[in-house]
Amino acid sequence: MSYRILLIGLACWPSWSYMGSRWWDGSDEPLGVVAAIMLVWLAWGQARVGGSPRPAWLGVTLYALLRPWAPDLVCAAVAMLTLAATASQGRVRPGWLALALLSLPSLASLQFFLGYPARVTAAQCAAWLLGAQGYDLERRGVELVWGQRHLLVDTPCSGLAMLWTMVFFAASLAAVRDWSVWTTARLCLWAGLVAWFVNVIRLTGLFYTELVLGRPELHTAMGVLAFVVGIAVLARLAPPSSAQADPIAVAPAGPPGGLWIVATLVALLGFVGPSSPPVADFPGWPTQWQGESLQLLEEVTVAGFPGRIGRFRCGSDPLVLRWVARPTRWLHSSADCFRAQGRVFVGVEQIYDADGRCFSDVSQWFWAASLGQSRGPWLAATRP
């Protein structure tokens, strides 16, 4: 089995480079490293055990088909699933496969696509819960408003990081205890529900600690308490250790055969990246911004960016403008770029549509643009 893992590593080398850079450049939370370490620990004791070569063949073939046009995250998912299936002796072990998906650097993408809807929904549930307790408050966007006091449901309060942690706990239990697909899926579903419940309870607790008691220093303590409660509830919901999957026959290990050749050919595809879609006609940069003249310092070229990026001098302050003609993940928060450079973003970021509407949250902008509620093209302005 070990030679197959080496060949998969050779064939999918661009994905390892991509995952490593996303783990450590600061643009994403490196939680996936924990899931990857868990997979290595599980596979360590089975390195000399044979298994069916089919997962390696199927995974490498699918990777070859996807590599020229699919996003890096999709290719990395195929690579990790292939590794997990091969390391688990060619058996369908859902806990292993779930850990493979959790190892992907995907939390920033989840926050981009799902962060704003998750924050709005969590804030609304907390508002209903507090309303049932007699508090006269309302939700405005992602804020809870109680009289003249406001509680902002920021990105960490979306609950997506909590969701990742709960699903990781469920997947690790399933992998260690070798549970069936149904048992694993049921516990992962419970993990999602528990994560959502404790996040709403956390927001309710933050309302009491920050707005009622005036103790904002307890913010972190409320998060830790919600995490501990969530893990305890999920452990209580987990089935007993005896609920394991039925043993599945393992096919004998075959000779390397043509897998060496296929893996080498697929590795060469790593030099072929997905093609960028055509960019709509660019109308040119504005000459003024909020009453001040703009001086173009340079146009920044970023491979794959479906638009234009310019660095300006606006009066005496720096200004970065990003222009896009369609909703795209590439127009992510500037805070992610600053984190990737080891810096903290303390500036102002706003996205303007063709009608002059302004968005201060990229996830909110993406959903409004995707649902036709905002008309493009769009111009994102960042003042560092």
Strand partners, 295: 313
Any idea which of 116-120, 302-306, 370-374 has the lowest mean pLDDT? 302-306
- Mean pLDDT across the stretch 242-248? 49
> Running DSSP on this structure, what letter comes out for residue 262?
H
- Top-confidence residue, 182 or 10: 182
Residue 368 lies in a domain: yes
Per-residue pLDDT at 92 exceeds 50? yes
Which residue, 214, 244, 271, sits at the end of a domain?
271
Residue 164 lies in a domain: yes
pLDDT at residue 247 in the model: 41
Distance separating alpha carbons of residues 119 and 356, to the nearest angstrom: 25
Number of domains composing the chain: 2
Please tell me whether residues 194 and 100 are part of one structural domain: yes
Residue 218 lies in a domain: yes
> Could you tell me if 246 and 180 are in contact, meaning their C-beta atoms sit under 8 angstroms apart?
yes
- For residue 11, which of 95, 109, 83 has the smallest C-alpha distance? 83
Residue 128 lies in a domain: no
> Could you tell me if 126 and 134 are in contact, meaning their C-beta atoms sit under 8 angstroms apart?
no
Per-residue pLDDT at 189 exceeds 90? yes
Q: How confident is the model at residue 252 (pLDDT cuts 50, 70, 90)?
A: very low
Question: What percent of the chain has a predicted confidence (pLDDT) above 90?
Answer: 18
Please tell me whether residues 259 and 295 are part of one structural domain: no
Please tell me whether residues 253 and 294 are part of one structural domain: no
- Mean pLDDT across the stretch 47-62? 68
Any idea which of 14-18, 197-201, 341-345 has the lowest mean pLDDT? 341-345
226-230 long-range CB contacts below 8 Å, 24 or more apart? Answer: 226/162, 226/198, 226/199, 226/201, 226/202, 227/162, 227/165, 227/198, 229/198, 229/201, 230/162, 230/165, 230/166, 230/194, 230/195, 230/197, 230/198
Please tell me whether residues 253 and 322 are part of one structural domain: no
Residue 124 lies in a domain: no
Please tell me whether residues 249 and 103 are part of one structural domain: yes
Please tell me whether residues 326 and 250 are part of one structural domain: no
Helices (H), 207-258: 219-237
Strand partners, 321: 310, 381
pLDDT in tens, 293-332: 888 888 887 766 788 888 888 888 888 889 988 888 777 7
Q: How confident is the model at residue 254 (pLDDT cuts 50, 70, 90)?
A: very low
Please tell me whether residues 102 and 197 are part of one structural domain: yes
pTM of the model: 0.74
Which residue, 271, 296, 330, sits at the end of a domain?
271
Please tell me whether residues 178 and 300 are part of one structural domain: no
pLDDT at residue 171 in the model: 93
> Could you tell me if 25 and 343 are in contact, meaning their C-beta atoms sit under 8 angstroms apart?
no
Buried b (16+ CB within 10 A) or exposed e, 293-302: ebeeeeeeee
Highest mean pLDDT: which range of 20-24, 100-104, 255-259, 288-292: 100-104
Per-residue pLDDT at 50 exceeds 70? no
Residue 345 lies in a domain: yes
- Mean pLDDT across the stretch 195-221? 90
Please tell me whether residues 258 and 331 are part of one structural domain: no
Q: How far is CA 92 from CA 87, 241, 300, in A?
A: 11, 19, 46
Please tell me whether residues 266 and 294 are part of one structural domain: no
Highest mean pLDDT: which range of 44-48, 63-67, 321-325: 321-325
Residue 120 lies in a domain: no
Strand partners, 146: 149
Which residue, 271, 296, 315, sits at the end of a domain?
271
Q: Average per-residue pLDDT in the chain?
A: 80
Domain enclosing residue 379, as ranges: 288-383
Please tell me whether residues 39 and 165 are part of one structural domain: yes
How many other C-beta atoms are found inside a 10 Å radius of the C-beta of residue 146?
16
Please tell me whether residues 220 and 97 are part of one structural domain: yes
- Mean pLDDT across the stretch 346-354? 82
pLDDT at residue 101 in the model: 92
Provide the residue type at 126 as one letter: A
Per-residue pLDDT at 110 exceeds 90? no
Residues 6+ positions from 29 with CB-CB distance below 8 Å:
107, 108, 161
- Top-confidence residue, 51 or 44: 44
Report the relative pairing of strands 358-359 and 378-383 from DSSP bridges. unpaired
> Could you tell me if 351 and 254 are in contact, meaning their C-beta atoms sit under 8 angstroms apart?
no
Q: Per DSSP, which regions of the chain are E strands? A: 138-140, 143-146, 149-152, 288-289, 292-300, 307-314, 317-324, 348-352, 358-359, 378-383
Distance separating alpha carbons of residues 122 and 140, to the nearest angstrom: 12
Angle, vertex CA 192, rays to CA 191 and CA 196, nearest 5: 115
Per-residue pLDDT at 255 exceeds 50? no
Residue 129 lies in a domain: no
Any idea which of 15-19, 51-55, 145-149, 197-201 has the lowest mean pLDDT? 51-55
Question: What percent of the chain has a predicted confidence (pLDDT) above 70?
Answer: 81
